[in-house]
């Protein structure tokens, strides 16, 4: 007798071993048809995702996974990646399959083939995938001996797949999945048949190095997306179209904000207008530091390699660090700011009465990112963080976390982001420190979110080896998620670098170190702002608040006077005195997404007024110059 406990607490008994699919059918024919996989928990195992064909031979808890579940969508996407590989080999038998994982919103599969795949090939492949899906071919799991599997894949010319299997320890049993004439290595689970895969689309082809190593051969990566419903896919494709219009790289070029050049890969050339945006962000964050008890500091760009070894960065991060040498000493160009802040803290012995001590830095960092991973401002090699470190006692940990979360919420709101996702990453298996300290740190992070009325997820085991963290993810105007802010509890680095304070009993103690950032990388955050607002930044961030356009030469002097008056009030204003038609001037400046266009002619000059056009063609009529100046200043000051 096997007893199955369902998520609602109800139980079902079976005379003997039973498959996940049979349990689903016993509950109802509809659930049986919808079942894609199962999550099984026994006294001997943690919750495990399995195929519907998986046989349960002991009492267990079971959740039936359908397309409505997040895990179900992952199963669909993983299975669709296999369907893609199946279709490619049907059309191009000489193509070798390599690796095909699930990624955000879809999947990809890497192939080795003698020629580049074309857009026409993608159309043909997608058509073949639809045919194979319609055929409703059963998908079955097989377990093979490792060496047997290596020999098999070599025999059919799949040398990449054989190499992957050879990296698995000898003697282990591996799982393969078969659908029709196609068989592939995979842990699973997969859908029971190809007929479950109804909504998918191939997106593009890109190059990818075998196993991500630039020393290896270049493969072809086909990206695709798959969804539970046509409506979901259409919404995603619409979002992609909107994202393309908002691409910060295109807008940065069109609006004259910044540029990239091959002589500095992963680094940014800021133009005057773009640097103006940068300065507004930096000045705002500097005021945040000043108003919330942070002391701004500046640490060196390069530090002796011995320091990076003490902190553990060299052992765990050396491949991402730039190095340089001088006088037989090796230095690391800093990828992060924390060691420098500990060194500043260590200058002099601190009393517990000085804590918490909060340091903030607009610290420029460099990381040796692979060239293939670079993506505009979103992934660069040189960046500046609004980096801060708080040195505090364990008793102060709770309050510091509460205050930081509330501060982050206020900052994000000022930039126009009100939807934030919160995730607490807890202790990993490999960690330092005793459980009592970890309990205190994790509870402090969770309680800080509860006190600020935040619902949060738990990411079990995703914390750093030195402590847990909160990840703050903002949601933009078209529904995309961007993880920007973080606060991490660190019991390791202060001790490694000898940081101490004197407690109330004159005993030397190691402080707790909180690593925190609100915006993260300035470059990335500005890129997010540009895309969120489609280039039409709020007035307080806009590089130009207004442009004054004269209708004719007779009003040119007045246009200059208007611009000078507004600039004297601290507003960023340009004037356009060209002899062009006013309609052309308005059109050109509208395309630059300037918040206000002020049109002046003889009537406006005589009245001391301006005709105001707001962004988006909004006609605000004629108003006295003093009224417009007050309106503009209020809008900038209130960050509307």
Token pair belonging to 324: 């340089």
In tens, the pLDDT along 213-255 reads: 878 999 999 999 999 999 999 999 999 999 999 999 999 999 9
Token pair belonging to 120: 């026409």
Question: How much is the pLDDT for 434?
Answer: 82
Question: How much is the pLDDT for 415?
Answer: 97
Q: Which residues contact 558 (CB under 8 A, 6 or more apart)?
A: 550, 600, 604, 605
Question: How much is the pLDDT for 486?
Answer: 95
Q: Which residues contact 174 (CB under 8 A, 6 or more apart)?
A: 143, 144, 145, 146, 149, 165, 168, 185
Token pair belonging to 547: 């442009």
Task: Look at residue 616 and tell me whether its pLDDT is greater than 90.
Answer: no
**40-54, 186-200, 407-421, 543-557: the lowest-pLDDT one:** 40-54
Read off the pTM. Answer: 0.84
From CA 208, how far away is CA 98, in angstroms rounded? 11
Helix/strand number for the chain, H first, E second: 20, 36
From CA 230, how far away is CA 355, in angstroms rounded? 56
Contact 334, 381 (CB under 8 A): no
From CA 508, how far away is CA 352, in angstroms rounded? 10
From CA 550, how far away is CA 581, in angstroms rounded? 9
Q: What is the mean pLDDT of the chain?
A: 93
Task: Look at residue 432 and tell me whether its pLDDT is greater than 80.
Answer: no
Question: How much is the pLDDT for 435?
Answer: 87
Where residue 18 falls among pLDDT bands split at 50, 70, 90?
very high
Q: Is 159 annotated as a binding residue?
A: no
Contact 109, 81 (CB under 8 A): yes
Task: Look at residue 310 and tell me whether its pLDDT is greater than 90.
Answer: no
Task: Look at residue 467 and tell me whether its pLDDT is greater than 90.
Answer: no
Token pair belonging to 218: 């270049």
Task: Please classify residue 73 by burial: count the beta carbons closer than 10 Å to its beta carbon, then call 0-12 exposed, 13-18 middle and 19+ buried.
Answer: buried
Task: Look at residue 132 and tell me whether its pLDDT is greater than 90.
Answer: yes
Bigger pLDDT: 338 vs 543: 543
Q: What is the DSSP letter of 380?
A: -
Where residue 496 falls among pLDDT bands split at 50, 70, 90?
confident
Task: Look at residue 452 and tell me whether its pLDDT is greater than 90.
Answer: no
Where residue 197 falls among pLDDT bands split at 50, 70, 90?
very high
**102-116, 151-165, 420-434: the lowest-pLDDT one:** 420-434
Q: Is 341 annotated as a binding residue?
A: no
Contact 422, 470 (CB under 8 A): yes
Task: Look at residue 635 and tell me whether its pLDDT is greater than 80.
Answer: yes
Q: Is 338 annotated as a binding residue?
A: yes
The SS3 assignment for 155 reads helix
Task: Look at residue 530 and tell me whether its pLDDT is greater than 80.
Answer: yes
Residue 612 is inside which H or E element, if any? strand 609-614
The SS3 assignment for 17 reads coil
Question: How much is the pLDDT for 352?
Answer: 95
Give the distance from CA 33 to its chain's centroid. 36
Contact 594, 546 (CB under 8 A): yes
Largest alpha-carbon pair distance within the chain? Answer: 98
Please report, rounded to a whole number, the percentage of residues in the chain having pLDDT higher than 70.
Answer: 100
Residue 481: strand pairing partners: 475
Where residue 464 falls among pLDDT bands split at 50, 70, 90?
confident
Where residue 11 falls among pLDDT bands split at 50, 70, 90?
very high
Active site residues: 338, 367, 385, 387, 389, 469, 515
In tens, the pLDDT along 435-448 reads: 888 888 899 899 99
3-state secondary structure labels for all residues of 243-309: HHHCCHHHHHHHCCCEECCCCCCCCCEECHHHHHHHHHHHHHHHHHHHHCCEEECCCCCEEEHHHHH
Please report, rounded to a whole number, the percentage of residues in the chain having pLDDT higher than 90.
Answer: 85
Where residue 537 falls among pLDDT bands split at 50, 70, 90?
very high
Average pLDDT over residues 111-118: 95
Q: In what order do the strands lie in the sheet with 329-333?
A: 302-304, 329-333, 323-326
Average pLDDT over residues 368-373: 85
């Amino acid at each position: 007798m096997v007893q199955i406990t369902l998520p609602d607490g109800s139980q079902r008994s079976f005379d003997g071993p039973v498959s996940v699919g049979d349990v689903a059918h016993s509950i109802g024919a509809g659930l049986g048809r919808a079942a894609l996989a199962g999550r099984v928990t026994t006294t001997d195992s943690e919750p495990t995702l399995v195929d519907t064909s998986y046989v349960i031979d002991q009492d267990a808890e079971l959740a039936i996974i359908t397309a409505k579940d997040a895990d179900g969508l992952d199963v669909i996407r993983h299975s669709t990646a296999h369907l893609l590989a199946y279709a490619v080999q049907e059309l191009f038998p000489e193509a070798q399959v390599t690796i095909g994982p699930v990624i955000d919103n879809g999947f990809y599969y890497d192939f080795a083939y003698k020629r580049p795949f074309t857009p026409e090939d993608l159309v043909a492949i997608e058509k073949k995938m639809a045919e194979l899906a319609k055929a409703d071919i059963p998908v079955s799991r097989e377990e093979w001996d490792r060496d047997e599997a290596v020999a098999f894949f070599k025999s059919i010319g799949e040398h990449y797949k054989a190499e992957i299997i050879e990296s698995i320890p000898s003697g282990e049993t591996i799982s393969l999945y078969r659908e029709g004439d196609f068989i592939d290595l995979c842990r699973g689970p997969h859908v029971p048949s190809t007929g479950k895969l109804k909504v998918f689309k191939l997106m593009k082809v890109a190059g990818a190095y075998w196993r991500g190593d630039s020393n290896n051969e270049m493969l072809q990566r086909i990206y695709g997306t798959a969804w539970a419903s046509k409506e979901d896919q259409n919404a995603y494709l619409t979002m992609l179209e909107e994202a393309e219009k908002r691409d910060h790289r295109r807008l940065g070029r069109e609006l004259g904000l910044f540029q990239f050049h091959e002589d500095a890969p992963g680094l940014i050339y800021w133009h005057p207008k773009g640097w103006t945006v940068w300065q507004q962000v930096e000045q705002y964050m500097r005021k945040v530091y000043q108003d919330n008890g942070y002391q701004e500091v500046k640490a060196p760009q390069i530090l002796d390699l011995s320091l990076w070894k003490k902190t553990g960065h060299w052992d765990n991060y050396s491949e991402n660090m730039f190095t340089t040498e001088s006088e037989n000493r090796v230095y690391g160009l800093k990828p992060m700011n924390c060691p420098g802040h500990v060194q500043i803290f260590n200058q002099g012995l601190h009393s517990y009465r000085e804590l918490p001590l909060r340091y903030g830095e607009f610290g420029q960092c460099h990381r040796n990112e692979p060239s293939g991973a670079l993506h505009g401002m979103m992934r660069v090699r040189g960046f500046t963080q609004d980096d801060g470190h708080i040195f505090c006692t364990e008793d102060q940990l709770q309050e510091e976390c509460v205050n930081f979360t509330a501060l982050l919420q206020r900052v994000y709101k000022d930039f126009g982001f009100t939807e934030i996702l919160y995730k607490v990453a807890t202790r990993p298996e490999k960690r330092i420190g005793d459980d009592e300290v970890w309990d205190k740190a994790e509870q402090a992070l969770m309680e800080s979110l509860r006190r600020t009325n935040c619902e949060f997820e738990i990411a079990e085991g995703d914390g750093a080896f030195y402590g847990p963290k909160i990840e703050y993810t903002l949601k933009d105007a078209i529904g995309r998620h961007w993880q920007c802010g973080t606060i991490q509890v660190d019991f390791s680095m202060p001790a490694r670098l000898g940081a101490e304070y004197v407690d109330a009993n004159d005993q030397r103690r190691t402080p707790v170190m909180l690593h925190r950032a609100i915006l993260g990388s300035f470059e990335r955050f500005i890129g997010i702002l540009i895309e969120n607002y489609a280039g039409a930044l709020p007035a307080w961030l806009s590089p130009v608040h207004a442009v004054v356009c004269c209708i004719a030469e007779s009003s040119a002097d007045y246009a200059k006077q208007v611009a000078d008056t507004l600039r004297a009030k601290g507003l960023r204003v340009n004037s356009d005195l060209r002899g062009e038609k006013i309609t052309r001037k308005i059109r050109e400046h509208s395309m630059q997404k300037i918040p206000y266009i002020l049109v002046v002619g003889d009537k406006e000059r005589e009245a001391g007024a301006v005709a105001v056009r707001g962004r988006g063609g909004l006609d605000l009529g004629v108003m006295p110059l003093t009224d417009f100046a007050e309106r503009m200043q209020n809008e900038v000051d209130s960050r509307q």
